[in-house]
Amino acid sequence: MAIEYVPKGTVFDYDDVMLVPNRCVVKSRSEVNVSTVFGGRTFNIPVVPANMSTVVDETTAEWLAEHGCFYIMHRFAPFEPVEFTRTMKGKGLFSSISLGIKEGDYEVLQKFREADATPDYITIDVAHGDSEEVFKIVKTIRSMFSRVFIIAGNVATAEGAQRLANAGADAVKVGVAPGSACLTAPNTGFGSRGWQLSAVEMVSQALDASHPHVKVIADGGIRQFGDIAKSIAFGADFVMIGGMLAGHDENPGEIIDIDGKPHKAFFGSASEHQKGEHKHVEGKKMFLPYRGSLSVTLNTIKEHLQSSVSYAGGRELEDLRQSGYVRLK
């Protein structure tokens, strides 16, 4: 018989809770500061586009860095991480890349050492991050590059997050299968879909107690702008978003006409379209309505977050963590 896993009581997701307003202390929402420090750098908002090939490429990454936003470049061919890092550093911009856990990823690390062009951020991007192979490569990176900010994931439990922190991760991505283009939950029966916000809370509380310096990235399940504020309120330091930040001018891909309306492709990293073969498929391909400039959406996120903080009775992003909430179900 399967073991019920409810260590903190009844679990919940974004649609199951609502934050409770508090006395407003600002004259205007524009006064609210929603910038955040992550890995020693200050970013305009605590939001990062998902490191998927339909969301970010070299051009998108450069644009985001130039506009005060964090990014994580995807790890899929024909991307060359060493050359990318050199290019970004040559332009005075920070470098943030992704790696997997295969032999070729260790070869990339060696190339970085030989090229003397270490990236500022390395994300170990694996669907099931609570893995001995992930712990191994995190430890390897930490031993080779002491100053690199290491992001590792994905996990759905406090124990998994603590194991990544013990291995040397500076930040942990939380979320297994909650994304709109992910098929892990229906195909395997596993994941945090339906209790993603609860997973974020459990991991955040556990790391606050055992590894307070380790950051939490809520990854997946964001359907509405208010879900970003809820993620921060329940302990996330950053929020990774896929579909909501896809389909723009700055995102990779061509505009496709569907029924007379412009769209752009969006597919999961474990999809057949990304893998190039039908093997262990846990992602699907979708077509999203074309959304114009990414800057408009990012500014909208900033404005909504400023409003959220004002409703929380605060002036700074972290004031969201003092919010009360009610369970709707």
Cis peptide before 44 (omega within 30 of 0): no
177 burial type by CB count under 10 A (0-12 exposed, 13-18 middle, 19+ buried): buried
Q: Is 24 a catalytic residue?
A: no
CA distance linking residue 48 with residue 34, whole number of Å:
14
Catalytic one among 127, 182, 197, 203?
A: 182
How, if at all, do strands 215-219 and 171-174 pair? parallel
Q: Could you tell me where the DSSP H helices lie in the chain?
A: 58-66, 81-90, 103-115, 132-144, 158-167, 184-188, 196-210, 225-233, 272-275, 294-311
Handedness of CA 135, 168, 95, 158 (dihedral sign): positive
CA distance linking residue 170 with residue 60, whole number of Å:
24
Spatial CA neighbour of 319 closest among 11, 40, 46, 10? 46
Contact of 62 with 68, CB cutoff 8 Å:
no
Among all residues, which ones are annotated catalytic?
182
